[in-house]
């Protein structure tokens, strides 16, 4: 089958090869972001979110000193239209990765996340949850368009450059998507001064 080159995906792939992470400003349109934000907020108001835990799903510990967000795992089969459109874009990206880079992505898992004022997620590696199948982490921010840097909540990625640790701060502006190597890059979410919304997920092998 012929592969039609996609410039956005190609940029992500070359960023990942060069620096283990990539930031894309318009992976999802602002309309899509708004629909996802509304869907997240409705489900949060209906009390469907759980306090996020650390450890794997059979060995969960709620540790507020490590992370303070609330999450809701998404089920693709039962997804609402906004989430169906989200997954269709993710699936398109996964197919591209598998066909052009032989990444062998077989599974994925995504959750909504809401960080209430004052919460954070301390420095960690996403494979600490006993899941070494996690290959790529993806975070898409669903905040309002007037999100300000003073609100905090930046994602800080720690990269090693020539033996020196270099932190990269990425603010959670709406529509922004961050993709990084789950097994390599430690990262943290700095304390937020106002509610912070996102979808986070992992592309997994085997």
Q: Tell me which residues touch ligand AKG (CB under 6 A).
A: 121, 126, 139, 155, 187, 189, 198, 200
Round to whole Å and give the CA distance between 61 and 75: 23
Q: Look at residue 198 and give the partner it binds from Fe ion, ligand AKG, none, a contact being a CB closer than 5 to 8 Å depending on partner kind.
A: ligand AKG
Return residues touching Fe ion (CB under 5 A).
Answer: 126
Q: Which is nearer to Fe ion, 83 or 126 (CB)?
A: 126
CB of 132 to ligand AKG, least distance (A): 15
Q: Closest distance between ligand AKG and the C-beta of residue 149, in Å?
A: 14
Measured from the CB atom, the residue of 97 and 139 that comes closer to ligand AKG is 139
Distance CA 176, CA 93 (A): 16
CB of 57 to ligand AKG, least distance (A): 14
* CB of 205 vs ligand AKG, minimal distance in Å: 18
**CA 78 – CA 75 distance, rounded (Å):** 6
Nearest alpha carbon to residue 43 among 7, 82, 77: 82
C-alpha–C-alpha distance, residues 23 and 41, integer Å: 25
Query: Residue 63: exposed, middle, or buried by beta-carbon count in 10 A (0-12, 13-18, 19+)?
Result: middle
133 close to 203: Cβ distance less than 8 angstroms: no
- Residue in the shown chain whose Cβ atom is closest to ligand AKG: 155
| Choice between 135 and 187, CB closer to ligand AKG | 187
Decide whether 95 or 169 has the Cβ nearer to ligand AKG.
169
In our burial notation (b when 16+ CB lie closer than 10 A, e otherwise), range 91-118 reads eebbebbeeeeebebeebebbbbbbeee
Q: How far is the CB of 155 from ligand AKG (least distance, A)?
A: 4
Nearer to Fe ion, 69 or 126 (CB): 126
Which does residue 108 bind out of ligand AKG, Fe ion, none, counting CB within 5 to 8 angstroms by kind?
none
């Amino acid at each position: 089958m012929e592969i039609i080159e996609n410039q956005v995906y190609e940029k992500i792939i070359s960023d990942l090869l060069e620096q283990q992470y990539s930031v894309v400003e318009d992976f999802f349109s602002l309309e899509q972001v708004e629909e996802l934000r509304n869907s997240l907020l409705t489900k949060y108001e209906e009390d469907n979110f759980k306090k996020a835990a650390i450890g794997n799903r059979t060995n969960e510990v709620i540790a507020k000193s490590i992370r303070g967000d609330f999450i809701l795992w998404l089920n693709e089969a039962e997804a609402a239209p906004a989430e169906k459109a989200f997954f269709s874009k993710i699936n398109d990206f996964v197919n591209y990765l598998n066909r052009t880079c032989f990444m062998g992505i077989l599974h994925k898992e995504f959750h909504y996340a809401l960080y209430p004022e004052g919460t954070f997620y301390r420095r960690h590696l996403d494979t600490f949850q006993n899941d070494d199948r996690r290959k790529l982490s993806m975070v898409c921010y669903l905040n309002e368009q007037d999100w300000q840097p003073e609100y905090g909540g930046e994602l800080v990625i720690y990269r090693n450059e020539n033996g020196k640790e270099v932190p990269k701060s990425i603010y959670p502006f709406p529509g922004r998507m961050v993709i990084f190597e789950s097994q390599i890059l430690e990262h943290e979410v700095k304390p937020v001064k106002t509610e912070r919304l996102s979808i986070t997920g992992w592309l997994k092998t085997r």
